Structure 1
Amino acid sequence: MVESSHRYVESGLRGAANTVRAYAGDWKRFTAWCTLHELTSLPAPVEALVGFLAELADAGKKFATIQRHAAAIAKAHELAGLDSPTADKKIKVLLKGIAREKKTRQKQAPAFSLASFKRTVKSIDVSTSAGLRNRALLLLGFTGAFRRSELEALNIEDLAFDDEGLVVTLPQSKTNQEGQAEEKAIFYSPDPALCPIRSLQAWLRLLNHAQGAVFVSLRKNNQLTARRMTTKYINLIVQQYLGTQYTAHSLRASFVTVSKLNGADDGKVMNQTKHKTSAMIRRYTRLDNVRLHNAAKELGL
């Protein structure tokens, strides 16, 4: 039963590789803990989950990590058609108490300003293969509000150029795990140095492939390879140019923040990010800079 549920979790989350790995590891850890304490893991009694989560907290795990373990256990029960112990009030009270004791807030990828992003992109040396690729990666990642996993999985066949711009088709994504195609629209910029479409086309001309991965790794001498870039390396590129305080997820968070600052409504933002609710847009909007979004600038003094 445990082996089957593990397979169900992976199948149910297929398309979100990072989540699959995390949930699978969390579920394996829980089942091992239950075996050690001679408790069933599926269905798991509430007392088993209480003991497991409390032990994680005592071991110094971050609250976000503890929450993820609970989510993995809930998913295993859901996919097996069983009631999850995470729905019990005891678990909700326990998690609230752990959060209060730890007093930790989940660290979110910060957003950058549009001005700093423009300066960074314009400073990239595009006389090299790496420069061409990295400029295209940053501009496409930002203007398309892409997740790093989507950039990693992007294929040349997913790109459709025309006079109006570019439409990128995503066969699968984190929130679209059943293969229902989603599309993102990318538009021309009047400044060629900041244009995601022209930058991507310049990179593709160098790549000179009709199909396969859009973003590939390079050898030390800037020679092209056929190896698809990993999410880890995409993250390193973002940090290389924008600073170590940022992550690849900052491209997506910054799209939301800059769009909202420029007056875009939630519907327009969600049409690009593919978020399902406005609540997620509010969560993604980074307006915590005291000078960035402040009515004191509009007093008229």
Structure 2
Amino acid sequence: MSGAQIPEHRRDDDPVTDPDPAQAIAEALSPPPPAHLEQLTERARDYVKAASSANTRKAYTSDWKHFAAWCRRQGLETFPPSPQVVGLYITACASGTGIPGGKPNAVSTIERRLSALSWTYTQRGTPLERGDRHITTVLAGIRNTHASPPRQKEAVLPEDLVAMLETLDRGTLRGLRDRAMLLLGFAGGLRRSEVVGLDLGRDQTGDGRGWVEILDRGMVVTLRGKNGWREVEIGRGSSDATCPIVALQVWLKLARIGHGPLFRRVTGESKDVGPDRLNDREVARLVKRTALVAGVRGDLSEGEREKRFAGHSLRAGLASSAEVDERYVQRQLGHASAEMTRRYQRRRDRFRVNLTKAAGL
């Protein structure tokens, strides 16, 4: 980075401001809009928030704070965006130099931080030049030096799921709720955010990600994802004990849920059901907890097992267990390519198609 022009040092008493994406529209409208446009301005702010998920906005806000604090410690300005400064920042993240804790960030974390900076700068009307050599060359070097193959979460297979269900108390509302969440997440191949984002019907809440429609032969789950809406069909199971539709119906009936979020917090010694939907992290905790209690992958240490299981274990379990044409699994999981689906199939026959023999060797 020789010859890079570093922006002037900021003053120590300058506050580090954290950009609020929802303010982007309001800040762009200067002077303030006439009174009769205030309602449209508020609606525009709502649409800005809806452009990305709450989890994404939370992560981006955290990453911006991390960058802004690093700039302050180094005596550098955050604005205007400087590829040189960003290149130095991701170098610090990769090496652990000058960042809290001194621990190097993973490549995936650095890439997310870079996306957060680019997104935030764009929202402020001052785009960051991501293609600048001070960023691209450094990032390529970081990837070549530190990148490692992705660590996949352990798949929860059908026999594992049955054992996990047995650890739940069928006599409590919390146990019934958790049974329905595990079975629905597995049978639908749903992400944890999709599980907790479901409502009982269409357009019932402002923060819902979809809804369910229970039919005689199964259930249709309508989901809003990154690439638009999709439908997931979940058939009834061969036994009521492992049927996701039966589990969901029992939970809804005993929890007296007739409108709004499907899965909610249970309080008061598992007797009271609140109005608000669960956080998606509860799905990961549920999978992890029940897998440990059920002794899934008992050949591993408890610490290793705790790292292996998460919400994605349910999706991987369905992909690995459903012995049907790969296209149906791909559609259920909402993947754009078969290659992505294969990453979830932990026990597929990798050599079913042998091109070596097919070529005559």
Unaligned runs of 5+ in 2: 1-16, 26-44, 97-103, 202-210, 293-305, 355-361
Between the aligned residues of both structures, percent identity stands at: 27
Would you tell me which structure has more helix in proportion to its own residues? 1
In structure 2, the partner of 1:121 is 165
Alignment of 1:1-301 (within 5 A): 3=19, 7=23, 11=48, 14-34=51-71, 37-42=75-80, 44-59=81-96, 60-77=104-121, 84-122=128-166, 124-157=168-201, 158-170=211-223, 172-173=224-225, 175-176=226-227, 180-219=228-267, 221-226=269-274, 227-243=276-292, 244=306, 245-259=308-322, 262-266=323-327, 268-282=328-342, 284-287=343-346, 293=349, 295=351
Shift in alpha-carbon separation, 1:220–1:128, aligned structure 2, 3 A: same
**8 Å contact kept, 1:30–1:41:** no
When structure 1 is superposed on structure 2, of 3-12 and 23-32 the one drifting more is 3-12
**Deviation for aligned residue 1:61:** 1.6
**Deviation for aligned residue 1:64:** 1.6
**8 Å contact kept, 1:6–1:27:** no
**Deviation for aligned residue 1:101:** 3.5
**8 Å contact kept, 1:111–1:257:** yes
**Deviation for aligned residue 1:82:** 6.2
Q: Deviations over 1:115-174 (max 9, x none)?
A: 32233335544232222111111000111122212222221222211112111223x44x
**8 Å contact kept, 2:22–2:49:** no
Shift in alpha-carbon separation, 1:105–1:209, aligned structure 2, 3 A: same
CA RMSD after TM alignment: 3.1
Q: In the aligned structure 1, how far is the partner of 2:317 from the partner of 2:142?
A: 31
The TM-score with structure 1 as length reference comes to: 0.80
**Deviation for aligned residue 1:181:** 3.9
Q: Match of 2:180, as an amino acid?
A: A
Q: In the aligned structure 2, how far is the partner of 1:5 from the partner of 1:15?
A: 10
**8 Å contact kept, 1:167–1:185:** yes
Which structure has more RCO (C-alpha within 8 Å, separation ≥ 6)?
A: 1
The TM-score with structure 2 as length reference comes to: 0.68
SS in 1 for 2:232: strand
Shift in alpha-carbon separation, 1:82–1:196, aligned structure 2, 3 A: same
Shift in alpha-carbon separation, 1:78–1:228, aligned structure 2, 3 A: same
SS in 2 for 1:200: helix
SS in 1 for 2:130: helix
Q: Match of 1:239, as an amino acid?
A: K
Q: Deviations over 1:202-254 (max 9, x none)?
A: 11111112102211222252112214222222221111212333111211232
**8 Å contact kept, 1:122–1:194:** no
When structure 1 is superposed on structure 2, of 69-78 and 27-36 the one drifting more is 27-36
The count of residues paired between Structure 1 and Structure 2 equals 284
**Deviation for aligned residue 1:8:** 5.2
